[in-house]
Structure formats: structure tokens, C-alpha cells
Amino acid sequence: MSRWATRLRETGEDPDPRFSFANERTFLAWIRTALALIAGGIGLEAFAPELVVPGLRQVLAALLVLSGVGTSTMAFRRWLRSELAMREGKPLPPPTVAPWLSYGVAVVALAVFVFVVVANV
């Protein structure tokens, strides 16, 4: 058994399985989001026309892929912190990645929109 799994099982009491399963579903939703960001970055690089500013498409695609990588990393961290909190009877941790992710995706989407519109005018 891995170190984090051992640490988890040795902490507190087993929570109601329904809460653990809900935590797992949330984790999987974050993983789907990470995969969508990575696919969006690959799709932007592979299929979008060259933007007005040379190299901007590659930068935006890289930002999307890196956001996906960060999201998948933070998904596990959030799952583990939530599971530990449930086992210890503590409040669940506040969302830390969601605000940054939503603002980051909004900025990238707005930039893509503006540069695609400018390129087609």
C-alpha cells in the first residue's frame, strides 16, 4: 500500500461511504475538466488558424495544457484533503483551485475570441 493510502487509513474513522463516493465523483469531475483543458489546448494548436500575433496560438494552447496538468494535480490534493477532513470530523477545505481555474479559462477564452475575430475582420 502506498504512503498516502496508509496515512489516510491510519487517520480518524471511516466516514459514511456515501460521502467518500461523493468525494470520489468530485475528483473524477475535476479529472474530466483537466482532460477537457488538455484536449482544448491540443485542438487549438492543431486546428485553429494562425492568430494575428505570431506565436500567440501556441502560447494559448500551452496555457490550456498546463492548466489541465495543474488541475489534475490539484484534483488529487483536494480529494485527499477532503477525505482526511471527513475522517477527522473537521470542516471540508475551501476550494482553492476553482477560482483560479475559472478566471484563467475565462481569460484564455476571451483572448482566443478576440484574436480570432480580429483575424477574420
Instruction: Report if residue 35 sits inside a domain.
Output: yes
Residue 4 covered by a domain: no
pLDDT band at 104 (very low <50, low <70, confident <90, very high): confident
Whether 5 is covered by a domain: the verdict is: no
Determine, yes or no, domain membership for 56.
yes
What pLDDT does residue 121 have? Answer: 66
CA dist 110 and 121 (Å) reads 17
Residue 3 forms part of a structural domain: no
In total, how many domains does the chain have? 1
Q: Is residue 19 part of a domain?
A: yes
Report pTM.
Answer: 0.81
Residue 119: the pLDDT is 67
pLDDT for the residue numbered 30: 93
46 within domain boundaries: yes
Q: Which of 10-14, 47-51, 64-68, 82-86 has the lowest mean pLDDT?
A: 47-51
Mean pLDDT score, 96-111: 83
Give the structural domain span for 115: 15-120
Residue 8 included in any domain: no
Q: What is the pLDDT of residue 95?
A: 85
Angle between helices 97-120 and 17-47 (to 10 degrees): 20
Handedness of CA 79, 82, 84, 86 (dihedral sign): negative
What cell does 3 get?
504512503
